Structure formats: C-alpha cells, structure tokens
A and B are shown apart, each in its own frame.
Chain A
Amino acid sequence: MILIKKHIPLFICFLVGVLTLGSYYVPNVHSENYLEMMNKWENIVAGFAFLLGLMSLFTSHFHKISRRAPGWGYSLFVYAGFLLVVVPAVVSNGQPMAGPAMTSLGWIYRFVFTSLSGTMFAVLAFYIVSTAYRAFRIKSPQAFVLFAAAFIVILGRVPLGQMMWDGLLGWTGYQVTDVIEWLMSVPVVAGRRGIMIGIAIGGIVTALKIIFGIERQYMGKD
C-alpha cells in the first residue's frame, strides 16, 4: 500500500520534474514533444477534474437547499444560472454567432455575462478608494513616507497638482514630473525587485523540495 500511496507518486513526481527541468536545457525536438505531451495530459486531466468540480458545486448547493440552510435561496440561482446558459448553448450548438446574427448563447454572453463581469471589475475602483484611505492614515514614520510619496504621485498626474507644485516648489528647479519619474523608477523599482528576487529564490527552493520529495504535504503526507 505504501508503494502505491507514497513511492510510486514520489517517483513520478521526481521523473516528471527532472525531465521538465532538463527540457529547458535540451532544445531537441524530443524535448519539445515531451512538453507538448505534458500539456495535452494536463488539459485532459483538467477536463475530467472539471466534471468533479461541477459535481461538487451541485452537491454542496443541493445539500444547502435540502437542509434549508441560511441563504438556501441563493443556491437555487446556481441551478437557474446553469440552465440559463447551458440550454441556449445546446440550442445554439455552442456558437455565439449564426452568420451576422447573434444566437441566444451569444446574447447571454454579451449582455449578461460580460456585463456582470464588468460590474465586478468596476467595483474594484471603489475598493481602491477605501483601501487608499486606510493606507494613507499616518500612524508611523513609514506610513508618512508612503503617504508623501503617494500624494506626490497622485497630485502630480493632474494639472491642478502641477500648478500647486509650480506655485509652491517651483523655485527648486525640479518639475513634479521629474520627482514622480524618480519615485517610480528608483525606490519603487528597487522595492519591487527585492520582492521579486525573494519570490524567485523561494520558488526555486520549493520546486526542488517537491521534485526531490522533501515537500509532500500536497499528496496528503505519509
């Protein structure tokens, strides 16, 4: 049992990991074919896994409805929404357009799905404002530095801010655009690169831990 649950999966993980890593250095056509084959397998597995996901979605909402759990009414919309898209998709043969005319699937996609997605994305703007308000509360010297930098960058992007800068700090000889450019290309880039280097090193080490079987949490431990 331990052979099937532990050793074989670890060996497969090691083999696939080493081959994939090696294919970066081996430019041969066999290497390309291997990567293409792995992509195909991933798509096939994802296809079957999607069925599992769909079953999980329906089962969890079915339980909510049958138990009359709080908010069970929302679960009805899952089934209604599913039918609302799948039935027109079957009727339209999966095509959003029939010649120049829009099919029912195309109509739903354009006027329901895209609009709803756009609405969710638009909500982001309001959240950015509330987050910015929270970020700009000056509680420490570091927060003041953040506030000052953000204040210059935000104000300097609009004509009013440029007028204010010219009126108050024009005597320094520096334009507000120069200061913004320096902020964005020196301290911001330095901070970002520091984080990116840390992420890259962490990613490499985690990948090695997985390839060599030291990290096994993802397969349910021993």
Chain B
Amino acid sequence: MTNNKLTFLFLAAAIAAAGTGTADAAEKKAALPPLTGFTAADMPGDAGGAALLRWNSPGEAAEGAVIEVHASDPAKPGWVKIKEFPAAGNLEKDMDMPFWAWRPVPGRHAVTADTTSSFGRPAAAQELEFKLRLVKGGSSVETEPVKASIGGNWFNASRLNNLVLMLTIIIVFFWTVSHAKRKGLFIRRIAGLDAIDEAIGRATEMGRPIFYSTGIGPMSLVPTIASTSILGEVARKVAQYDTSLKVPHFDPIVMTVCKEVVKQSYLEMERPDSYRDDINFFVSQDQFSYAASVDAMIHREKPAACFFIGHFMAESLLLAEVGATTGAIQIAGTEQESQLPFFFTSCDYTLIGEELYAAGAYLSKEPMLTSTLKVQDFGKAFVMLAVVAGAILIAAGAMFDLDSLSKVVTQLFKAY
C-alpha cells in the first residue's frame, strides 16, 4: 500500500514537472518574435543564382539568435539550408551597394542568398521558394514561404559611376582626335624617347647590336601592346642605320606580332634586304630561364644599347643590371611601379607612368595618335580635381558630422 502511494506521488510529481517543462518551452517559444515583412526578389545587377531577401527587424528579443535561410525548388520538394547568420546583423544600410542602386529602409534587414551551389545557375530565370527560420537555443520560428523568380540581369547598376566616367572619356577622346586634325599639339619632351636616336646612333658607330625586350607579359596586356608600338619605331631607325637588332621573346604570340611589326618597319624604310627572320626569336616561357638566357646573350655580345619596355617583374633588375655592367646605354619602361626603382637606378632613361603609353604617339608624330595624349592630360586634370574636391568634402563631412555626405562622396568614386 505504502509502495502504491509512493508510486502515485512520484508519478504525480513527474507529470507536474513535465507539465511545468511544457509550459516553460511554450514560454520560450513565445519569447521568440515572429519575422515579419519577409520578401524575396531577384538580386539586382548579378549574373543570376542569387536572391535578395528582406525582413523587418525582430527586435531585442532576438538577441543572440541566428537566422537560417532555407530555399526550395517547387518542382522538387524539400528544403535546403543555404545560409546562416546572427539575427542582429545584416541591416539594409550595411549592404555594399551605392546610393543610386539601393535605398535602405531603417529597421529593415537584407541579405543576398546565393543559391548556385544547391540549385545551379540556369540560363533562364528560375522560380524558387524561400523561408527564414529564427533559431535561439531549442526554439525556432519560421516565416511563410515566399516565391521569387531569380535570374541574370542585363545591367549592373552599381557600376553606373564607372560607365558614366568611361562614356565621358570616350567623348573627350573623340573630341580631341577630331580637334587634332585641325591643329597641332604641344608635347613636352620625354628624355627617354629622345635618347632612342642617340642609342641607335651609338650602336651604329660601335658596330654592336641593340637588344630589345618586350618583357614577360602576354599580348593581352596593354604595356606589351605599347611596347610593340615602340619596337616598330625603333626598328624603323635600326633599318635606316642598318644596325643589328635582337629581340628575345618570352611569349610566342608576342614574338609572332613583333615579327610582323619589325618586318613592316624594314619595308617602310625600303630595307627589306636587311630584314632577317631571326631578329625576333623565342627564348623561354619561364621567367628566370628567360632572364638567364638574355643575361648571357647581353654578357657575351656586349650590345651598345638595351631597351626593356613592357611588363617586367623580378627579372627587371637581373636584365638591367647585367646591361649596366656591359656599359650599354639603357632605356626602360614598365607599368609595374614596384619594378620602376630598379630600372631607374640601373638604366640611363626610364619611362615612368603614362610615358610608356605616350611613347608610340611621341615617336610616330602622327596627329591622330598625338592628339590622344591630350586625353591623358584631361584625365590627370580630372583626377587632380577629384582628389582635391573629394578630400575637402570628406573632411567637411567628418567635421560637421554629415555621414551622408561622406558616404555619397566615397560611393561616387568606389569601384563596385
């Protein structure tokens, strides 16, 4: 009897305890606020496969909770978790988008949900369902599923600032080109390019060859293309003086292009008999093998002049220093600002910055080409004004607590 009483009391206590637990869990569940105002839409300005999800702030009650993003293809049942993040973050104002492409609403959250890893990226738009789950401890609340059609866009509005700048440059470019036909332009002297005649004359007098390296860049690099232009002008003068020219190459495509350029220069100077097919030759497509080979040739043949114009990396000093020890007159130019100090100290003349790109126009003296130098000047003037104006506006924004002004200026000049 006593045993039965004890069993009854124990069961009663257990039921009471279980009842309290259920009540606690219900209380916990009720403590998590529902996520309201949930919307899903195509992510603007992307290549497809991403959705833009937005919802109202769950408030302080969701402190320490996380939000899970789940997606589903209506054609294939089942939900896939694609993202998880703290509930407190991801405010709309924190989205990395400029003010002209994104209007954040205070108190709203937004996140980009990339679905490509789970659902691929079909060429056409695809319809997916999304839902959010707010999780804290063992409790969770879910939103109602929302459908969104996601696909690629035809314009990335975030890059509008870049497009406007590009169109302005193109307009200025054509204006200067048309202007050049009527009037000549003053071009300041570039010592490194004026020295080309001196270098070739020296080589002719000494009866030694001229080495010209286009660097280790492929033909798709702008400095390599600029280098081929300079090579054309150098080859014209070499053909005129009947000097020996050697062009060792790192890239076979650049070699093929340079062969045509040099051949044409010899033809223009009416010296096709002096042209040899081995003026341009391939050495190696390995950086240090190329440097070792060219160094050895410079060391053995002791050229009167060396040109290092194009894209150079660590081999810049290896080449220029060996050239300097042989006493050759050296002219260099590269777009790699980290290599410029090496060229500057080892070479007699160095084309710095935009001088490399101006060289072709400077040497050929063609009105159409020289006029484009004006665009570079306009570009530099614009950058100078933008730097000064930007600095003043940012400083004013910081001084007068105008965050929006600082944000506008920063976003105007930011690359997205």
Contact = CB atoms under 8 A, between A and B. Distances in A.
Nearest to B233: A217
Interface in B248-272: 249, 251-253, 255-257, 260-261, 263-264, 268
A52 B353 contact: no
Contact of A199 (B173, B335, B369): B335
Given A27-B46, A205-B376, A221-B268, A198 B229 contact: no
A220 B260 contact: yes
A201 interface: yes
A195 B353 contact: yes
Given A197-B380, A209-B372, A217-B232, A27 B156 contact: yes
A71 interface: yes
Contacts of A206: 222, 225-226, 357
B291 A71 contact: no
Contacts of B121: 29
A31 interface: yes
A218 B170 CA distance: 22
A171 interface: no
Interface string A193-204: 011111101111
Interface in B336-376: 337, 340-342, 344-346, 352-358, 360, 364, 368-369, 372, 375-376
Contacts of A138: none
Interface string A47-72: 00111111011011001000000110
Contact of B47 (A27, A208, A210, A214): A27
Interface stretch (B16-24, B94-102, B147-155, B394-402): B147-155
A134 B288 CA distance: 24
B169 interface: yes
Interface stretch (B63-71, B137-145, B313-321): B313-321
Nearest to A128: B317
A70 B345 CA distance: 31
B385 interface: no
B289 interface: yes
Contacts of B340: 195
Contact of B379 (A56, A130, A205): A205
A27 B282 contact: no
Interface string B221-236: 0110110110010000
Nearest to A118: B288
A212 to B, nearest CB: 8
Nearest to A126: B321
A217 B357 contact: no
Contacts of B300: 70-71
A126 to B, nearest CB: 9
Contact of B345 (A131, A201, A205): A131
Contacts of A219: 257, 260
B294 to A, nearest CB: 11
Interface string B188-230: 0000000000000000000000000000001010110110110
A210 B379 CA distance: 18
A124 B375 contact: no
B296 interface: yes
A56 B282 contact: yes
A197 B377 CA distance: 12
A218 B372 contact: no
B177 interface: yes
Contact of B222 (A197, A207, A221): A207
A26 B228 CA distance: 31
B317 A127 contact: yes
Nearest to B257: A218
A206 B229 CA distance: 11
Contact of B289 (A21, A74, A117, A220): A117
Contacts of A124: 314, 317-318
A185 to B, nearest CB: 16
Contacts of B177: 214
Given A49-B256, A195-B340, A221-B268, A27 B345 contact: no
A91 B29 CA distance: 69
Interface in A141-193: 192
Interface in B74-105: none
B358 A202 contact: yes
Contacts of B287: 117
A196 B154 CA distance: 31
B229 A218 contact: yes
Given A49-B253, A205-B357, A214 B346 contact: no
A155 to B, nearest CB: 19
Contacts of A127: 317-318, 321
Given A52-B255, A205-B379, A220-B263, 8 more contacts: A56-B255, A56-B280, A60-B278, A131-B317, A135-B341, A199-B337, A201-B383, A203-B357
Interface of B: 45-48, 121, 123, 152-156, 159, 162-163, 166, 169-170, 173, 177, 218, 220, 222-223, 225-226, 228-229, 232, 249, 251-253, 255-257, 260-261, 263-264, 268, 278, 280-283, 285-289, 291-292, 296, 300, 314, 317-318, 321, 324, 335, 337, 340-342, 344-346, 352-358, 360, 364, 368-369, 372, 375-376, 379-380, 383
26 contacts: A27-B45, A27-B46, A28-B48, A28-B153, A29-B47, A50-B285, A51-B252, A53-B249, A63-B278, A117-B288, A120-B292, A123-B318, A135-B341, A135-B345, A196-B353, A198-B353, A199-B356, A199-B357, A202-B357, A202-B358, A204-B169, A207-B222, A214-B368, A217-B228, A218-B225, A219-B260
Ranked nearest first, the 3 interchain pairs of A and B with the lowest CB-CB distance are A53-B252, A198-B353, A202-B357
Interface of A: 21, 24-32, 42, 45-46, 49-54, 56-57, 59-60, 63, 70-71, 74, 116-117, 120-121, 123-124, 127-128, 130-132, 134-135, 192, 194-199, 201-210, 212, 214-215, 217-221
